[in-house]
Amino acid sequence: MAHAVSTPTRPGSALCRAASGQGPIRRMRARTAGIRLTLTLLASAVLAACAVQPPKPPATAAVVTALPAVPTPAGAVVKPHVNPVVQPWASIQASDVMHDCADAPLIRANAARYARSPAHFEALLRQSLPLITYVQTKLRANGIPGEFAMLPMLESSYRADEPSRHGDAAGMWQFMPTTARRHGITVSRHYDGRLDPVASTQAAVTMLKSLQRQFGDWRLVDMAYNAGPYAVTAALRGHPGLGSGAIPDIPIGAAGRRHLAKLMALNCIVREPARFAVRLPKPTGGNALTTVKVPAGSHLSTVASMADVSTSALRQLNPGYRGARIPADSPRTLLLPADAAQTLLTALTVNASESVAQVDTNTPQLAAGGGIPLPAEPVAPDPDSIAPDSDPTPAVPAEHRVHDGETLWSIAHQFHVSVGDLKHWNHLHGNTVRAGAVLHVHG
């Protein structure tokens, strides 16, 4: 919920006004010349101080994002900061970690194969651009070269729901279950963080940084990501040098060498698109994705309705959430287009004492401090874990009187209907409802 924060009155400003008007001074009756002289000097000093004070800055709107809500200190102003649109291609082209486009025959061969159909390659980049932009943002924030934004393209064609092709690896970063858990990813019946772009990207960033600290060369980092750090460590024994070629000359398995060559080939196409007759899609603000943390037990369909996106679109971006609700053992973080996140912010009205969702402030197009409030929901068991003798769902009443603090979102959730239906049945055009109003609810 946004709160406008007014600029506090400066100490002495009331005294400045009084001195300027001199009303109180004129009404005072001087008893002695000494008192009159003292008052005259005091008024002159105050007027001089007022003259040099800077003008009051205009009040700035502040957005409360704390959970629970914390009163804004007097005088505190949260200034919005809009990040520029991330340019993933520029980040790759400006990096020199994997800049050898044509040195190795293996790189040339893979680049030619990937760009055999420029239209197909362009389409793949275009459909993956929102996730590429999101990943590039996280890489840049953690000091990881832009070339690694092409790693999920190599692993899974940026399909967040990509199943295992080799063993038990899954997701756009193709994490094995043991590797995922080692890096803090939850893998359970109701939530698989390997399929969650947010959780898996954070784990990948952590893993890449750890491998860089271990090996000190980003090419070796990719080899270790594919073949494992033990394989790279073993290959480096007795081979202090990496050679002068694009691909390190170390005795590692063919799979590790091919993986690096493919990653370098993908980056080669992005670095020199004209050479391969490829047109890179242009990033826009509409490609920006941001994260929204929601309460456990939230219905995905209800969140989608409030964000004005389809449930299928929400699930496509968040395939790690396997059920209808957000499980308590998950991060409870959903990935949304930035404009949908803003829609959610506009649509929801909650009291400052209610739970407040948090928005990733590193996302382009969103102001720092922006928050998306979501009413807290009780944690509910997954439908297929409910005992057979559970009480049946109570009948939906025909009318509901709005209580203080309720919102359209919370009422819709209570009666398992959509916000759109509530607005349609009651001829509502806005997203707020006043306490005491009677809403018609159809079963």
Query: Contact 221/215 with Cβ under 8 angstroms?
Result: yes
- Is 65's pLDDT higher than 50? no
Under a CB-based contact definition with an 8 Å cutoff, are residues 158 and 172 in contact?
A: yes
pTM greater than the 0.85 cutoff: no
Which residue in the block uniquely carries the two structure tokens 């909650």? 350
DSSP state of 402: P
**Domains detected in the chain:** 2-63 (no CATH), 88-276 (1.10.530.10), 391-440 (3.10.350.10)
Quote the percentage of the chain above a pLDDT of 70.
63
Q: What is the reported pLDDT for 73?
A: 35
Q: Are 270 and 380 in contact (CB under 8 A)?
A: no
CA angle (78, 79, 81) in 5-degree steps: 130
- Average pLDDT score over the chain: 72
Q: Which of 386, 339, 377, 330 is nearest to 357 (CA)?
A: 377
Q: 94-145 pLDDT, tens per residue?
A: 887 877 676 688 999 999 999 999 999 999 999 999 999 999 999 999 999 9
Q: Stretch 335-339: mean pLDDT, rounded?
A: 90
Q: Which pLDDT tens digit goes with each residue over 224-273?
A: 999 999 999 999 987 777 877 788 888 998 999 999 999 999 999 999 99
Alpha helices by DSSP H, listed for 157-299, are 177-182, 197-215, 218-227, 229-236, 254-271
Distance CA 281, CA 284 (A): 9
